Structure 1
Amino acid sequence: MRRGRRLSFAACLILAVAAAPAASLAQTVDELYASAVKARQAQHFDEAADLLRRALALKPDNADALVQLGFAELGRNNLPAARDAFSRALSIAPTYRDASFGVAEVEFRSGNMDAALPLAEQVAEVDPANADAAKLVDNIRKAKRAAASKPKPAVTAQAVMKKPHRRPDPVPGLMEEGRRLRQAGRLPEAEKVYRRALR
Structure 2
Amino acid sequence: MTYSAYVFAVLALLATPGPTNTLVGLAALRKGLRSTVQLLPAELGGYFTTILPLTLLGAEIISKWPAVSVLVKAAAASWVLYLAVKLWTIGAYVGRYDEITIRRVYFTTLLNPKALVFALVLLPPPTDERFLPKLGIFVLLAVSMAIAWGGLGALLGSQKTQTRLLLIQRVSSVWLAIVATTLILGIIRS
TM-score past 0.5 threshold: no
Structure whose alpha-carbon radius of gyration is higher: 1
Q: Please report the TM-score for the alignment, with normalisation by the length of structure 2.
A: 0.24
Higher relative CO (Cα under 8 Å, sequence separation at least 6) belongs to 2
